[in-house]
């Protein structure tokens, strides 16, 4: 589920749910998700620490904590299949629980069937992230210069987290469609008027996804009477959102919603790109 909008929605739910809660127990089921932090170091840092806030940077979650008056950050990433949520401590952790933090009556669960995500004390990777696409530093000038200096295909550029933090495979295709930009065009060969359109489209698709609570099917199951417990995952009845909101992603073989041309799927840098050959040229 996780691109920038999904992480943003998750952060907004986790922030009030975690604030003020103290970690009493730490269980690491998969050491690879905490690397390079060791189990010993993680336990030493987290035991007795209290959550003071949750923020986002690109697709990363930043858990602000304080222990013995000293503030520090725990960094989270959902990879492809990660989920983070609270559940009653009496319920058994899910099959693919990677890390479980005991908070008293509740457990903070980080589960991830593929274990591609992270929950670590090492925040070094944040230094390399580019600007937030919805922030001030992602200016038209920055974006235009970043494209003009690159011979890489536009699609490839959009996924480069050092250039822009938070765009993933779904919203890259969607933004290019809205802007009428051909995915294989080299950055430096894109006409500036299309650069302007793409810049606007990126912000638009991300904002819309956030506004909808996400374009991807997901649902928050409030516990009994909205007590802060919730569930991050697919919603049985959310299919309609998905169909309506996404124009091209995963729509190969289906008609373009604008011109009815059949949507194509190509592979770039080992990943699928979906586009309308007629609208994007």
Partner DNA sequence: CACCATGTTCCTTG
Partner DNA sequence: CCAAGGAACATGGT
Q: Among residues 115 and 230, whose Cβ is nearest to DNA?
A: 115
Q: Among residues 25 and 219, whose Cβ is nearest to DNA?
A: 219
From the CB of 70, what's the least distance to DNA, in Å? 25
Q: Is 271 one of the catalytic residues?
A: yes
Other CB atoms within 10 A of residue 193 CB: 8
Q: Determine if 115 is a binding residue for DNA (CB under 7 A).
A: yes
Using the contact rule CB under 7 A, the part of the chain among 10-18, 61-69, 151-159, 188-196 near DNA is 151-159
Residue closest to 15 by CA, chosen among 48, 57, 63, 59: 63
Q: Determine if 269 is a binding residue for DNA (CB under 7 A).
A: yes
Q: What is the largest CA-CA distance in the chain?
A: 62
Q: Where are the alpha helices (DSSP H) in the chain?
A: 4-18, 39-46, 140-148, 154-158, 169-179, 192-211, 239-245
Using the contact rule CB under 7 A, the part of the chain among 46-54, 99-107, 132-140, 263-271 near DNA is 263-271
- Cα 250 from Cα 177, distance rounded (Å): 13
Render the burial of 136-155: b for 16+ CB within 10 Å, e for the rest: eebeeebbbebbeebebbbb
Q: Is 90 one of the catalytic residues?
A: no
Q: Determine if 127 is a binding residue for DNA (CB under 7 A).
A: no
Q: Among residues 23 and 274, whose Cβ is nearest to DNA?
A: 274
Q: Determine if 247 is a binding residue for DNA (CB under 7 A).
A: no
- Cα 167 from Cα 156, distance rounded (Å): 11
Binding mask 67-106 for DNA (x = CB under 7 A): ----------x-xxx-------------xx----------
From the CB of 267, what's the least distance to DNA, in Å? 7
Q: Residue 229 is encoded by which pair of tokens? A: 């417990």
Exposure of 102 in the CB half-sphere (CA atoms within 13 A): 13
Among 37, 87, 107, 169, binds DNA (CB under 7 A): 169
Q: Which of 2, 131, 133, 153 is catalytic?
A: 2
Q: Residue 173 is encoded by which pair of tokens? A: 């295709």
Residue closest to 230 by CA, chosen among 11, 76, 68, 4: 11
Q: Which of 21, 59, 155, 157 is catalytic?
A: 59
Q: Is 59 one of the catalytic residues?
A: yes
Residue closest to 142 by CA, chosen among 58, 168, 185, 150: 150
Q: Which residues bind DNA (CB under 7 A)?
A: 1-3, 6, 32, 58-59, 77, 79-81, 95-96, 113-116, 125, 151-152, 156, 159, 161, 168-170, 216, 265, 269-272
Positions marked active-site: 2-3, 59, 271
């Amino acid at each position: 589920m996780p691109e920038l909008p999904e992480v943003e929605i998750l952060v907004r739910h986790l922030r009030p749910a975690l604030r003020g809660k103290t970690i009493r127990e730490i269980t690491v089921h998969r050491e690879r998700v905490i690397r390079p932090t060791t189990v010993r170091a993680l336990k030493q840092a987290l035991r007795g620490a209290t959550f003071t806030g949750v923020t986002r940077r690109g697709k990363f979650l930043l858990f602000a904590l304080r222990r013995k008056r000293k503030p520090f950050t725990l960094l989270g990433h959902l990879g492809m299949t990660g989920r983070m949520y609270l559940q009653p401590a009496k319920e058994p952790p899910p099959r693919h629980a990677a890390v479980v933090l005991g908070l008293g009556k509740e457990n903070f669960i980080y589960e991830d069937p593929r274990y591609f995500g992270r929950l670590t004390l090492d925040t070094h990777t944040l230094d390399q992230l580019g600007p937030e696409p919805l922030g001030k530093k992602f200016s038209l000038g920055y974006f235009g210069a970043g494209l003009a200096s690159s011979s890489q295909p536009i699609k490839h550029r959009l996924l480069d987290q050092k250039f822009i933090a938070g765009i993933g495979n779904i919203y890259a295709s969607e933004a290019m469609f809205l802007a009428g930009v051909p995915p294989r065009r080299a950055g430096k060969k894109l006409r500036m008027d299309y650069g302007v359109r793409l810049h606007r489209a990126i912000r638009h698709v991300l904002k819309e996804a956030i506004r909808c609570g996400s374009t991807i099917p997901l649902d928050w199951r409030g516990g009994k009477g909205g007590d802060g417990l919730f569930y991050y995952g697919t919603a049985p009845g959310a299919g309609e959102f998905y169909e309506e909101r996404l124009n091209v992603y995963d729509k190969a073989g289906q008609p373009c919603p604008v011109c009815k041309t059949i949507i194509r799927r190509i592979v770039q840098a080992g990943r699928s790109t979906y586009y309308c050959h007629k609208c994007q040229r």
